[in-house]
Structure 1
């Protein structure tokens, strides 16, 4: 009983700290995302190509550069604070796990791993995971016009200094799912929702309930969900796919410059995948051993 009270107190304190820190992480990541979208929108190729001042006003780019430089300078602070809060989350999680592992019962340790994994999962689902962009720096557009009328021969090159963005995207997992549904891409959106969100939440919730009762669920359906559902979770596969996409986009040969950056959400999603694997190994051993003890005849 004292162990249960200590674990409950540790868990409540960790969840309060995790909620506060996660809120700050998501808030700072959102500020960075909004600022980056405003920065790329100001330098979008359609906006720049249709800007009269950039074509005919020699100071047109200078005035715009001052504006975009101001926005770009403001991006560093929220990203830095998001990283600081992420380190704080990691420290809180390590302290929580270390203190939980000092408790006598093994189920408390496994429960602490699962609770930490769920905290990482929720933060990873809400925070942006990856940003990708395609742009051209110092774009030059040659304009050549030859006609017999008045012997007109125009050979002119229009220069657009600085960056000109053709594409930018940054989404969290939940934002990506919402975008897919809005685009009527229901199969992909539903697949990500089920295999990377719902299944991890259901499996870990059932595992916590089973560990608190120290035995497997009596229902055959719930038992199957607990012991077999993890194989259908694609959270780890999703993380690997994001990493491969990050590497592939960075090495694309498209004639324009490409950029991809890993953001806070992916680190939390990766942490969840690793913690979930660790917890699954312990859950299988503990629940199987508990089931054997409950089925063995009393001598």
Structure 2
């Protein structure tokens, strides 16, 4: 196996390892509060959730379609992409390798994980302009962002023989 492919395999394993905390650790806290006369700073709403908790909340609140989309694009497709990528790097037959590589590229087009991270970041930045709404990024966001970057890098390193 070429050194580029060994590096791609290691990065794929690392990306899958950091995907787990990216899905389970808190990602974003949204707080809605206002400065009220006499009462001072009063919090009306505060929520901190991970991606998995967000999916569960959406599903429980009858937003099943959105919950399923996030489940598909943030969990199922990234895992399928990672497993397919490892198969590309470990399979010996050239014909199988090429077929699996095509699968990885087609899955990559549907992987919305990176778009999801950008969406969270934009939501974070947009709340910074509103004094009543505060957003705070947590470690889950950084793990998930790292997953996206490491996963993309691993695909770029693959060299088919």
TM-score with structure 2 setting the length: 0.90
Q: Which runs of 5+ in 2 are unaligned?
A: none
Q: Are 1:160 and 2:39 matched, yes or no? A: yes
Q: Is the 8 A contact 1:210 1:217 kept in 2?
A: no
Shift, 1:217, TM fit = 6.5
1:130 is aligned to 28
RMSD: 2.2
Q: Are 1:265 and 2:140 matched, yes or no? A: yes
Q: Is the 8 A contact 1:128 1:173 kept in 2?
A: yes
Q: Are 1:179 and 2:57 matched, yes or no? A: yes
SS state of the match for residue 218, structure 1?
helix
Structure 1 residues 241 and 215: CA distance shift in structure 2, 3 A: farther
Partners of 2:97 and 2:87 in 1: CA distance: 13
Structure 1 residues 219 and 207: CA distance shift in structure 2, 3 A: closer
Partners of 1:217 and 1:241 in 2: CA distance: 38
- How many aligned residue pairs are there? 161
Q: Which runs of 5+ in 1 are unaligned?
A: 5-103, 141-158, 291-299
SS state of the match for residue 180, structure 1?
helix
1:227 is aligned to 105
Partners of 1:183 and 1:125 in 2: CA distance: 20
TM-score with structure 1 setting the length: 0.50
The Cα offsets for residues 158-184 of structure 1, whole Å up to 9 and x where unpaired, read as x224x3111111110000001111111
Relative contact order, higher structure (CA 8 A, sep 6+): 2
Displaced runs of 4+ in structure 1, greater than 3 A? 214-224
Aligned pair partner of 2:77 in 191, 196, 199? 199
